[in-house]
Structure 1
Amino acid sequence: MYRKLGAIFLAVLASQAQAKVDSSQAARLAQDLTPLGAERAGNAEGSIPSWEGGVRPPAGYQPGMHHPDPFSGDQPLFRIDAQDIDGFRAKLPAGLVDLLERHADYYLQVYPTRRSAASPERIYAATRHNAEHAELIENGNGVSGAVAGIPFPIPQSGMEVIWNHLLRYRGEQTRIINNQAVVINGRANLIKRDRYLLYVYNRTGMTPDELGNTLLYYRYQVTAPAKLSGTALVVQDPLDQVLTTRRAWRYSPSDRRVRRLPSLAYDSVQPDTSGLATADVVDAYNGAPDRYEWVLLGKREMLVPYNSYKVHQQGLAYDEIVLPGTLNPALLRYELHRVWEVEARLRTGYSHPYATRRFYLDEDSWSILAADLYDARGELVGLQESHPISYYEVPMFNSTLETLYHLKTGNYFVDGLDNNEPMYDFDYPMSPQDFTPQALRRAGN
């Protein structure tokens, strides 16, 4: 299957935009840059340390456990709330400033910076190869010359930076049982899902020919509440979603039918989110980049969610995490990190609730940690945050919890609540045949 798609994909490659760097630049990934392209050194003030290879799991950790906090002894350096926000505005996303000003009881606890992100050695090696071979194609809607690893560790444009996020390492195959919460008028409604992800791009031994135009496969089945139990979805995600449209099917237990969804991309609404989340806000941003102009604004130091082990801990009641207006600030951790700042500006002729989006990407992992969302009038309307941890057993650095705040209404959406569920299984057996309409029908019977 992979080879057939590869032949089709390679046959239609058109104009290419130069993106690869020469060998002398690529050599920096073993010198002043980390293997994924971050600045290896700390900052001049010493408030950001040097990168030393990531974090080691605490003593006693075993795969399958909820990941214990390796920095549990850290104490907050300071606290920020609406009363003393003025001295920190330059280091905070605009949406986070707005959230603090709207909620008098909300605050940020800022901890020492710990550069804990790490990936497997094969991802580092692939990134080094990609640096000299990866190119944007199809006006930036696809990538060639890369497989596994970060495609553009020394980026030259906003488009390259967002592709680094889209293709960053998130394991090979993962079964996840967790919950999402829709919070409307202060009341939270939870949906529990059994989720399966097969990351084709990152699989061990994958080659460009085998990869073709396949990025990942995704499937979930709702297990609670009872009125939605059995509802299921499957998604086949291409690498270039302009060349090949994302395909999605949904199974409804009420009529025992599988239906092809006409669209599950861009501004189409995610199922079961009460209209609070568009398809492209999953993982902070996903899907084709073609409807936006991507402007690289540079790199800056910001206070962002990081090392969020406290909110990840096993046994926390979900109503202790999800409060009426915000997540529980006592469970969140913020640190000072260097981030890439990219602004996405909606192209003429397209519509989206978010005409401008400003993303802040972690230099060490290429994860989007926060995003400011603006409507067509230029008004700030939303804030996204991703609260990451290191999954030691892989290893990878990724969000344990994601939020999308609707600043004007006070409603918000949360995804990733897993404190009372089994921990992720990064070795669960699966294949592309598990992500078809037929697989949905089998699961529903």
Structure 2
Amino acid sequence: MHFLSLNRAATMAAALVFTGAAVAAPEDVAALKSGSLTPYGAERAGNKDGTIPAWDGKAPPASGSATTKRADPFAADKPRLTITAANAGEHAAALTDGTKALLAKVPGFKLDVYPTRRSAVFPQAIYDQVLKNASRSKLANDGLTVEGSYGGIPFPVPKNGHEAIWNHMLSYRGQVTSFVADKYVMTSAGDQVLTSRQRTNLIYPFYDPAGNPEQFSGEWARARIDITEPPANAGQALMTIDYVDNFGKPKDGWQYLPGQRRVRKSPSIAYDTPDGSAAGLANFDDVNLFIGSQDRYQMKLLGKREVIVPYNNNALMAKPVKDVVGKGALNPDAVRWELHRVWVVEATLRDGKRNTAAKRRFYLDEDTWQAVLADSWDAQGKLWKTGQAFTLVAGDQPLATTLSYAWFDLLSGGWVFAGAVNETGGVSYRPFDAKQLNNFTSSALASGGVR
């Protein structure tokens, strides 16, 4: 397995498990200012082979809106190669364990690899905060708490795995985001079941442009999910609050159950609690490939690799779901894959902690800091699940962010496709408004009950 080193600090981090607070290095800030790194901390230059281009900072053309699908800005591209089970060995260095397993297990599965498009561009205000964070952000409590950070990824040049995962968690996904999405479960026999249609609203106090680190409350995100289908579950609602202090306050959650007509505090919407609407194929901490507290894992930064990952998948999200969902995997003709540099983080259980995934490996896109692939191993050391997250490009914002994602159970053959907006419309991005926080409270959850 070949890893690329950015600098001396990253090379050292590849061999170490984080044990204490990190201190920003002056050369990190200098690299951001000089232009050798992008304003988001990625390598600006392309790779030696020319298969990964330099980042030019130009947002793709804007198309679509909150009520329409955002068109594929790269629709004219053609695959430059196709990887199948027959030729996977030739490309093994650029494939994850999970991708190799799907190629070997699922008949007809393939990767259509397109030219790499570094489409991740963000507002200048975000870049300004990232530069400030490079010298003010630090970790405490063995990596579980972020201090001094605000309005952008906290660690543009990560020194350890916890910093990299905090970048993933706190990566920019808009200020207020709304969409309706479906969740489908596919059995090993090929049956397809719509288990949930959810109206999702997300608000990110961490990205309030009027805020600052000194006044930041510690709540980085609030989420509200209202279930509208199937009829048996319609009216259920869920609200969560995530914090930058996983040591003192990992996560809060509330549920509204229409049969009981009341809201109750929910202690079971985090970690490896199974997501009932995913039929046991994904847990609550599998959202976006990983979400929630890091207190059960030590995160080790393995370095950087060039990996073939799903990317720039506006077209996937615009297709009818019948053209997307296949037996054993997503329809390979619907998914765009590209070669990108990714940070690799390996999670192993802390002493005395438990999770159904005894080991996890995350592949974080250097341009967005978001996990685009993930693998999980069970307690017996068997490769158990592999996850894929699909990037939506919104040139009108601008931003690039994962939205839909899938988890494949390599042992049972079942899989789940979540965050699917194929049949439900577009994604709305709105400016932060503190008044909107009133919609993300337990009392608002109760008043929104429909049954």
Please tell me the residue identity of whatever aligns with 1:305.
P
Q: Say if 2:174 and 2:430, in contact at 8 Å, map to a contact too.
A: no
Matched, 1:264 2:283: no
Counterpart in the other structure of 1:53: 57
What CA distance in whole angstroms lies between the structure 2 residues aligned with 1:37 and 1:369?
Answer: 17
Q: CA deviation at 1:325?
A: 1.4
Please tell me the residue identity of whatever aligns with 2:24.
K
**Aligned match for 1:176, one of 161, 175, 179:** 179
Q: How does 1:31-70 map to 2 (within 5 A)?
A: 31-57=35-61, 61=64, 64-70=67-73
TM-score normalised by structure 1 residue count: 0.92
Counterpart in the other structure of 1:19: 23
Counterpart in the other structure of 2:225: 220
Moved more, 28-37 or 267-276: 267-276
Q: Say if 1:308 and 1:400, in contact at 8 Å, map to a contact too.
A: no
Counterpart in the other structure of 2:96: 93
The SS at the match of 2:248 is coil
What CA distance in whole angstroms lies between the structure 1 residues aligned with 2:301 and 2:291?
Answer: 18
What CA distance in whole angstroms lies between the structure 2 residues aligned with 1:63 and 1:273?
Answer: 27
**Aligned match for 1:423, one of 426, 431, 434:** 426
The SS at the match of 2:278 is coil
Q: Say if 1:118 and 1:390, in contact at 8 Å, map to a contact too.
A: no
Q: How does 1:119-268 map to 2 (within 5 A)?
A: 119-185=122-188, 186-190=190-194, 191-268=196-273
Matched, 1:296 2:291: no
Q: Say if 1:354 and 1:376, in contact at 8 Å, map to a contact too.
A: yes
What CA distance in whole angstroms lies between the structure 2 residues aligned with 1:173 and 1:200?
Answer: 9
The SS at the match of 2:277 is coil
The SS at the match of 2:185 is strand
Please tell me the residue identity of whatever aligns with 1:224.
E
Q: Say if 1:292 and 1:347, in contact at 8 Å, map to a contact too.
A: yes
Mark the runs of 5 or more structure 1 residues left unpaired by the alignment. Answer: 1-14
The SS at the match of 2:142 is helix
Matched, 1:403 2:406: yes
Q: RMSD between aligned alpha carbons?
A: 1.7
Q: Name the % identity.
A: 36
Q: Say if 1:63 and 1:393, in contact at 8 Å, map to a contact too.
A: no
Query: In the TM superposition, what whole-angstrom CA distance separates every residue of 1:132-160 from its partner, at most 9, and x where no partner exists?
Result: 11000122111111101111101111111
Q: CA deviation at 1:55?
A: 3.0
Query: Would the alpha carbon gap of residues 62 and 221 (structure 1) be closer, same or farther in structure 2, given more than 3 Å must change?
Result: closer
Counterpart in the other structure of 1:392: 395
Counterpart in the other structure of 1:436: 441
The SS at the match of 1:82 is coil
Q: Say if 2:155 and 2:164, in contact at 8 Å, map to a contact too.
A: yes
Q: Say if 1:16 and 1:135, in contact at 8 Å, map to a contact too.
A: no
Query: In the TM superposition, what whole-angstrom CA distance separates every residue of 1:383-437 from its partner, at most 9, and x where no partner exists?
Result: 0111102122222111132011000101111112112223112128662221222
Please tell me the residue identity of whatever aligns with 1:218.
A
Mark the runs of 5 or more structure 2 residues left unpaired by the alignment. Answer: 1-18
Counterpart in the other structure of 2:324: 321
Q: Say if 2:306 and 2:342, in contact at 8 Å, map to a contact too.
A: yes
Q: Say if 1:81 and 1:104, in contact at 8 Å, map to a contact too.
A: no
Query: In the TM superposition, what whole-angstrom CA distance separates every residue of 1:333-367 from its partner, at most 9, and x where no partner exists?
Result: 11111110111111121221211111111111101
What CA distance in whole angstroms lies between the structure 2 residues aligned with 1:415 and 1:210?
Answer: 35
What CA distance in whole angstroms lies between the structure 2 residues aligned with 1:242 and 1:215?
Answer: 15
The SS at the match of 2:60 is coil
Moved more, 101-110 or 185-194: 185-194
Counterpart in the other structure of 1:7: none
**Aligned match for 1:276, one of 277, 281, 285:** 281
What CA distance in whole angstroms lies between the structure 2 residues aligned with 1:227 and 1:320?
Answer: 27
Please tell me the residue identity of whatever aligns with 2:55.
W
Query: In the TM superposition, what whole-angstrom CA distance separates every residue of 1:56-84 from its partner, at most 9, and x where no partner exists?
Result: 215x6556431111111111111111111
Alignment length, in residue pairs? 427
What CA distance in whole angstroms lies between the structure 2 residues aligned with 1:54 and 1:410?
Answer: 41
The SS at the match of 1:17 is coil
Please tell me the residue identity of whatever aligns with 1:407.
L
Counterpart in the other structure of 1:82: 85
Please tell me the residue identity of whatever aligns with 1:306.
Y
Counterpart in the other structure of 1:368: 371
